[in-house]
Amino acid sequence: MEKLTLDNPFSEEITNFQMPKNFVLPISLEPYKGFGDPCAHIKKFQSMIFFNGANNEPILCRAFPTYLDGAALLWFSKLSAGSISSFEELARSFIDYFAASRIYVHGSDYLGTIRQRQHESLKDYMARFAEATMEILDLDPAVHLHALKTGLRPGKFREMIVVTKPKSLEEFRERVAGQMEIEELREAHKIDKQPTKREEEKTFKLSGNKEPKKPFKLTPLIPTPDSIPRGRT
């Protein structure tokens, strides 16, 4: 029968360390499942833990398994008891074991396939592009900028980028920030112009409950024998 509990691979010092009461695990980091660059996962994990104010070996070691799943969590469960005494050892073992998984990571050429969709906002396009770049180590800023500009949907903004020729990612992002504000204002204007629910109900009641008035017509009076004046005799 398969064992359901995890062995503790950490040394006594790490195991007995009292975690700070105010420490909160970051929730925005996706668990590593055995695919993708293990080095990138280590760097993301460290940066997020440091951002939360934690910067010591026991916290890094104790928190790391929380961001493992699938094959990676199985790997961790098979580490020998008491074999890890520092985060450096844990990270090195993790990277060595999943080194072959880097073949699933996209290269910089992949960025050339990302295009802004027909009805996709500039904000959503930039977010999707940024997510793809996170998997690419040592990305050349010039390649990054060229792929961003090439992927823009044909239109006035792309034409403006061609004319102004931003020479850096920072300059490009400044242009993007201005265009995002314009798109958000346009979207807000569309929402403001839409009738409210009460207005729609009022319009429906006025148009649905009242029958249109029929035009008034004069009906000619048809003379009868009694109505014709008689001459005097």
Residue 141, domain CATH: 1.10.1200
- Tell whether 177 and 150 lie within a shared domain: yes
Assess if residue 76 is contained within a domain: yes
What are φ and ψ of residue 84, in 5° steps? -115, 120
- Tell whether 126 and 171 lie within a shared domain: yes
- More confident site: 148 or 137: 148
Residues of the domain holding 188: 108-194
Sign of CA dihedral 146, 147, 148, 153: positive
pLDDT at res. 122: 93
pLDDT at 96 over 90: yes
Beta-ladder partners of 68:
32
Last residue of some domain: 57, 79, 104?
A: 104
Cβ count within 10 A of residue 9: 22
Assess if residue 200 is contained within a domain: no
pLDDT at res. 133: 83
In one-letter notation, the amino acid at residue 132 is: A
CA angle 16/17/23 to nearest 5° reads 140
pLDDT at res. 195: 63
Domain count, the chain: 2
pLDDT at res. 109: 81
Sign of CA dihedral 33, 35, 37, 40: negative
pTM: 0.47
pLDDT at res. 137: 66
